[in-house]
Chains A and B, each alone.
Chain A
Amino acid sequence: MKDVAFGQYYPARSFVHRMDPRFKIVLSIAYIVAVFLVREFHFLGFAAAFAFIVIATAVSRVPFFKVLKSVKGILFFVIFSSVLQVLFNREGTVLAEWWVIVITDVGLLRAAFITLRIMLVVMGTAILTLTTTPVEIADGLESLLTPLKWIKFPVHEFALIMSIALRFIPTLMDETERIINAQKARGADFESGNLFKRIRALIPILIPLLVSSFRRADELGDAMDARCYSGAKGRTKYKKMRPTYRDFIALALMAGLIAGIVLLNGVLGVPV
């Protein structure tokens, strides 16, 4: 149960795992941009993006099925949107027609295109979460958001809140389990009844959890005070992120991918 909290992080010491989290975050965003740059129906661009994922997965030593599995979560969304495309898109030549439903070639192509685009984006970001611990992501975000200090955005507080939230997920999960068991022992029933009944059954879990969270927050505040916490001012930082050759290789690869996609868009001006 505790492992759920740490997302899908796959522990290993690989090329990708040892990259600077800031680079990984920026490159993930660049990757999403790259996938969206692919012009409609240029499936070759998707092939390039997919090749990038395969390479990244190979050097990250994460089993490939883990990356594929990440798509599972959005499967319903993908199917739903492609079915809508197939059924209701009326552009292009009509392939089949029945009642209000018109299936066209463009509809089919577009469904495939959207499905692939979403899957590629999800798989790409999965590599980030599979190879980077939430703590590293929080640290990376803090560093990336530093320029926002100029507009008085409380970057340090924001990062601290994030890392404390992450730190307390396993603790609260344990507590939830304990409360559920305690309520079950008192005869609570969480499994039967309709949706409303089940949601109402959750109230006796949520209230104790909420109350105890406040108590925890109070105690944590005292503990932080006692350890001389007084905000960002005068504070040093132990962990320092430093980009290595790995990050620049990855950056070059990403630049190559984006250049390739842009070139493909230009060369193959017309849809395949």
Chain B
Amino acid sequence: MSFIEAKEVYYRYPQAEKDALCGVDLTVEKGEYVAVIGHNGSGKSTLARLLNGLLQPTKGEIFVDGISAADKKTLFELRKRVGVVFQNPDNQLVASIVEDDVAFGPENIGVPRKEIGERIDFALSAVGMQEYRKSMASRLSGGQKQRVAIAGVLAIRPEVLILDESTAMLDPRGRREVTDVVKKLNRENGMTVLAVTHYMDEVCEADRVLVLSDGKIVMSGTPAEIFSREEELEKYELDVPVPARIAAMLRAGGMEIGRIYTKEELGDELCRLLPKI
């Protein structure tokens, strides 16, 4: 059994006329970095909420580490393993002081006092916020707040980190800070990451990309594979990152340029091709 396994999951919000998710199958292995993209209302946030038990599927089953997310009795165990970072940095910090906020999760699961201190050290250094330990959360920037929110989740020591559009309300710099931290957690600590986003440049960091549309997974593959299917993406109202688009245009113009989706790669390719022109 895979680490996260969802089979034929349906979800309909109360009083809604249409299913938000209709028959989603999903498997995620331990240590994987999966990005979920889709336009507004595609069901991507619903998927994130189902995995943490904030919502229970109307039909189908979800297992995380063998624990059913559809069963309200095992909710506490599920949430210890699945950490979620939400969109609005202001609405997920509980305490005024950074360390008190990070302590909130461990306190909830009954970690002994001494160990909470160690967990705060670990979590804050993992997101590079050690020196703000005693700071007032309200004085931090959006990116910093969101890093504290990640630390608050890490202090529970989850197995998987879900980012539910965690960068949507940040400025470009804050977004960079958060994506760098998440990438580091995935690469260095082997954290399983499921990132729901609509920023294409964040998708590039992922091992695998899922495209959701109208509650169904319509595309799945590596970022390179996904971005090469430009027409299809457009059909789902999604943009291809600018470097990939430039590469596609150059290719159409007759240049022998490879599959590209980051600025750095585009730079390298152009430098390589320059002498041939």
Q: Which residues of A contact B (CB under 8 A)?
A: 2, 5-6, 133-135, 163-164, 166-167, 170-171, 215-216, 219-220, 222-230, 234-240
Minimal Cβ-Cβ distance residue in B for A219: B91
B103 and A238 form a contact (CB under 8 A) = yes
B138 within 8 A of A: yes
With A and B bound together, what is the CA distance between A222 and B136 in angstroms? 22
B110 and A226 form a contact (CB under 8 A) = no
Q: Is the interface of A mostly helix, strand, loop or mixed?
A: helix
Within 8 A of A (CB), among B96-138: 96-97, 99-100, 103-113, 116-117, 120, 136-138
* Most chain B beta-carbon contacts within 10 A, residue among A6, A164, A238: A238
B173 within 8 A of A: no
Q: Do A171 and B90 contact each other (CB < 8 Å), given the known contacts A135-B97, A226-B54, A238-B117?
A: yes
Enumerate chain A residues within 8 angstroms of B117, measured Cβ to Cβ: 238
With A and B bound together, what is the CA distance between A220 and B83 in angstroms? 15
Q: Which residues of B contact A (CB under 8 A)?
A: 49, 52, 54, 76, 79-80, 83-84, 86, 88, 90-97, 99-100, 103-113, 116-117, 120, 136-139, 149, 152-153, 156
B106 and A238 form a contact (CB under 8 A) = yes
Enumerate chain A residues within 8 angstroms of B96, measured Cβ to Cβ: 133-135, 163, 166-167
B113 and A167 form a contact (CB under 8 A) = no
A228 and B79 form a contact (CB under 8 A) = yes
Q: Do A235 and B100 contact each other (CB < 8 Å), given the known contacts A226-B52, A227-B105, A228-B76?
A: no
With A and B bound together, what is the CA distance between A6 and B153 in angstroms? 27
A236 and B107 form a contact (CB under 8 A) = yes
B116 and A238 form a contact (CB under 8 A) = yes
A220 and B94 form a contact (CB under 8 A) = yes
A167 and B94 form a contact (CB under 8 A) = yes
Enumerate chain A residues within 8 angstroms of B84, measured Cβ to Cβ: 223, 226
Q: A234-B110, A236-B110 are in contact. List 17 more A-B contacts (CB 8 A).
A: A6-B136, A167-B95, A167-B96, A167-B137, A170-B138, A219-B86, A219-B92, A220-B94, A223-B86, A226-B54, A226-B153, A227-B94, A227-B104, A227-B152, A229-B104, A236-B111, A238-B116
Enumerate chain A residues within 8 angstroms of B93, measured Cβ to Cβ: 167
Please pick, from A166, A222, A228, the residue contacting B105 in the complex, using a CB distance under 8 A: A228
Q: Can you sample 17 A-B contacts with CB below 8 Å? A: A6-B136, A167-B94, A167-B137, A215-B91, A219-B86, A222-B49, A223-B91, A226-B52, A226-B84, A227-B105, A229-B104, A235-B110, A236-B111, A236-B112, A238-B107, A238-B116, A240-B113
* Most chain B beta-carbon contacts within 10 A, residue among A6, A163, A226: A226
A239 and B110 form a contact (CB under 8 A) = no
